[in-house]
Chain A
């Protein structure tokens, strides 16, 4: 049962990472324009160099 003392913290940390990633996406307005973002990925305007 000693393995639990590793596995439980690991699972909690992984879960918390997921939560933090989600919170980051919410805070940085990544859900404002779902339709536009799904189309923008198809545009090749800035493929060679990033948008200035």
Chain B
């Protein structure tokens, strides 16, 4: 199990999709364990997994959710998640523990369920009232009509009071700060329609708009529900990513090591960090020698030597030997958290973006109010009849109802997010798609974003096979990433390792052994007596011969060439912005045909560069994964981070790339553009309906029948148009 630091990014207004969850203290009594099961797909899997889990002593209930690919287990407190993971792996299923504290799905569920109930009530009521209205339109007269109107009123009033509550609440919130939003005209239309209809009914008039008020509520709630569901899916997937990193640390105590949540660590604690683990705190090495991978903090790929007395920061990865770290700063005080302040400063720029829906509302809301007020005043002056004037004003408000507008955006975003999710992209932010469509400059980070962050032997064919054979034998005795890469390269070439005896790993330096009576070493340049170059290299020395270097490059993620080519084809400016050494960045940029690149950039440099691009009027898409990218991700117009990124980087970005492949980025730009085009089309369709129907309403020809027809046809056309998205 890797040990992870999870910074609490409280200062981030856009992190609704992935709230930084505090570690829950272990609950008393039966424990709830959540497991992620990415491999299950059929009914046989459900049965096998549930039976395997139920057979574990202490497990009281195990239930698989196939939709979420997750298993929830109720068990005695002494059952550990690790044991259950083992059981499932023996049964043939890949399983990962999920942090139950980070899976706060229940709250989102409740909001969704609430909306669904309101939608159901509105749907039920509007169907009944519509049936009654149809009989009125087809000729029911006198007492029958009045009775139908009264029954409609009796259904409509309580139904609206329940279903339209979200609109009332939102409209009141906007009005109380003296602003207009989309909900104000909606509420006005509903209330005015109800008031005039009641008045008409009382005077046994011909026209009542009960069905229109309900249909309006129903269509708008449908839009809200779609919107909510899209976001709930994104949120639950983002939560799952966060929950996969269970933040635990090994605390060194007098009576042995104890596994504790990172949140419980205090300054002065001694923490054991195993090879391969992430350092959870800022501190100082008190025991052990190793090498540290700092790429996530700085972007540099060359591992750094670590010895007692050296300062380390949270987020660095320990590579070879076990380390004991004395914590000097924990939780909120770590350098990880200080990075969050940079983020909150950068973020203020993004909140200025106005979504298409908001800008439409800004034009639409006052327009509708003025139009209906003018119709009211005009008719009042011309006919002098208050009842006629009020009727016409209500008709104008209902006809111009923003049903289609309310559906225009959510219908398209639901369709687009669904498409992108299937391609492996998670849209976290509500307006991310619209912003993505405007992008003209794409900035990539190098380490971990374009590259996998794992080294690969550079040109394996160019080395001497005998030396490879010795090196391979030594490399197999170590789990250092460079050794692993070297051994794999030798195996791929079919090189049989030489017989090297007495192999031992010296943490922080390398591996040594005996070969034909000579001492052989594979490790750091200084250790084997070579000159440290600028490249990532492991050096081999045989006896007293001059040491020999193996150089490594970072392996590219799949699809990088295609993505850069596709972006160039879409005539976007592509920039490479990395914290790594100049020659490494230059070579990658050359290979990929990227003309603009910057190396050795500090986190501030990255954010400043993005800000200066923004000042030049560029719309920047930032793709990055490291902590050093976090500020830049937040400063960019829109940002993408891979799922392997640190939690902080994922929180700061709008879109998360789920797979290893980066090709979906180019597709996403395409989909975002067509989605925005559909949204604009939908606005035009809604406007066209209004242009036809509003003059009728103002002239006083609108009947409840025309209102119902205009409303439903425009809503249905808009939804169908959204489904055309490819």
Contact residues in A for B144 (Cβ distance below 8 Å): 1, 4
The distance in angstroms between the C-alpha atoms of A26 and B119, with both chains bound, is 12
**Taking the nearest CB of chain B, how far is it from the CB of A36, in angstroms?**
3
Contact residues in A for B46 (Cβ distance below 8 Å): 36, 39-40, 43
In chain B, positions 32-72 with a C-beta closer than 8 Å to chain A are 42-44, 46-47, 64-68
**Taking the nearest CB of chain B, how far is it from the CB of A30, in angstroms?**
11
The distance in angstroms between the C-alpha atoms of A12 and B131, with both chains bound, is 11
Q: How many residues belonging to A are interface residues under a CB distance threshold of 8 Å?
A: 23
Q: Does A49 contact B (CB under 8 A)?
A: no
> Does more than half of chain B's interface fall in helix, strand or loop, or is it mixed?
helix
Known A-B contacts A43-B43, A45-B47; the reply to A33 vs B113 at CB < 8 A is no
In chain A, positions 23-50 with a C-beta closer than 8 Å to chain B are 23, 26-27, 32-36, 39-40, 42-43, 45
Known A-B contacts A8-B151, A27-B113; the reply to A34 vs B67 at CB < 8 A is yes
The distance in angstroms between the C-alpha atoms of A18 and B342, with both chains bound, is 54
Known A-B contacts A12-B128, A42-B43; the reply to A23 vs B117 at CB < 8 A is yes
Question: Is the beta-carbon distance between A18 and B124 smaller than 8 angstroms?
Answer: yes
Q: Does B120 contact A (CB under 8 A)?
A: yes
Question: Is the beta-carbon distance between A40 and B43 smaller than 8 angstroms?
Answer: yes
Q: Does B116 contact A (CB under 8 A)?
A: yes
Contact residues in B for A23 (Cβ distance below 8 Å): 117, 120
Question: Is the beta-carbon distance between B43 and A33 smaller than 8 angstroms?
Answer: no
Question: Is the beta-carbon distance between B66 and A11 smaller than 8 angstroms?
Answer: no
> Does more than half of chain A's interface fall in helix, strand or loop, or is it mixed?
helix
Question: Is the beta-carbon distance between B47 and A43 smaller than 8 angstroms?
Answer: yes
The distance in angstroms between the C-alpha atoms of A39 and B128, with both chains bound, is 35
Q: Does B386 contact A (CB under 8 A)?
A: no
Contact residues in B for A16 (Cβ distance below 8 Å): 124
**Taking the nearest CB of chain B, how far is it from the CB of A34, in angstroms?**
6
Residue of B nearest to A16 (CB): B124
Contact residues in B for A26 (Cβ distance below 8 Å): 113, 116-117, 120
The distance in angstroms between the C-alpha atoms of A43 and B64, with both chains bound, is 14
Residue of A nearest to B131 (CB): A11
Question: Is the beta-carbon distance between A36 and B120 smaller than 8 angstroms?
Answer: no
The distance in angstroms between the C-alpha atoms of A26 and B65, with both chains bound, is 17
Q: How many residues belonging to B are interface residues under a CB distance threshold of 8 Å?
A: 24
**Taking the nearest CB of chain B, how far is it from the CB of A10, in angstroms?**
12
Question: Is the beta-carbon distance between A33 and B66 smaller than 8 angstroms?
Answer: yes
**Taking the nearest CB of chain B, how far is it from the CB of A11, in angstroms?**
7
The distance in angstroms between the C-alpha atoms of A33 and B50, with both chains bound, is 15
**Taking the nearest CB of chain B, how far is it from the CB of A16, in angstroms?**
7
Contact residues in A for B117 (Cβ distance below 8 Å): 23, 26
Q: Does B121 contact A (CB under 8 A)?
A: yes
Name the residue in B43, B65, B127, B132 with the highest tally of chain A Cβ atoms < 10 Å from its Cβ. Answer: B43
Known A-B contacts A39-B46, A43-B46; the reply to A15 vs B67 at CB < 8 A is no
The distance in angstroms between the C-alpha atoms of A16 and B42, with both chains bound, is 37
Question: Is the beta-carbon distance between A39 and B67 smaller than 8 angstroms?
Answer: no
The distance in angstroms between the C-alpha atoms of A32 and B113, with both chains bound, is 11
Question: Which of B67, B113, B147 makes the CB contact (< 8 A) with A36?
Answer: B67
The distance in angstroms between the C-alpha atoms of A36 and B124, with both chains bound, is 28
Contact residues in B for A33 (Cβ distance below 8 Å): 65-68
In chain B, positions 98-126 with a C-beta closer than 8 Å to chain A are 113, 116-117, 120-121, 124
Name the residue in B42, B65, B67, B113 with the highest tally of chain A Cβ atoms < 10 Å from its Cβ. Answer: B67
Question: Which of A1, A22, A40, A42 makes the CB contact (< 8 A) with B120?
Answer: A22
The distance in angstroms between the C-alpha atoms of A8 and B128, with both chains bound, is 10
Residue of A nearest to B120 (CB): A22
Contact residues in B for A27 (Cβ distance below 8 Å): 113
Question: Is the beta-carbon distance between B66 and A36 smaller than 8 angstroms?
Answer: yes
Known A-B contacts A40-B46, A42-B43; the reply to A35 vs B116 at CB < 8 A is no
Contact residues in B for A45 (Cβ distance below 8 Å): 47
Contact residues in A for B155 (Cβ distance below 8 Å): 12
Contact residues in A for B132 (Cβ distance below 8 Å): 8
The distance in angstroms between the C-alpha atoms of A9 and B427, with both chains bound, is 47
Q: Which 6 A-B pairs have the closest CB atoms?
A: A36-B66, A39-B43, A19-B124, A35-B67, A33-B65, A35-B66
**A-B contact list, 24 entries, CB within 8 Å:** A1-B144, A4-B144, A11-B131, A12-B128, A15-B127, A19-B120, A23-B117, A26-B113, A26-B116, A26-B117, A26-B120, A27-B113, A32-B67, A33-B65, A33-B66, A33-B68, A34-B67, A36-B46, A36-B64, A39-B42, A39-B43, A39-B46, A43-B43, A43-B44
Beyond A8-B132, A36-B65, A39-B46: 13 further Cβ-contacts under 8 Å?
Answer: A4-B144, A8-B151, A11-B131, A12-B155, A15-B127, A16-B124, A19-B120, A27-B113, A32-B67, A35-B67, A39-B43, A40-B43, A40-B46
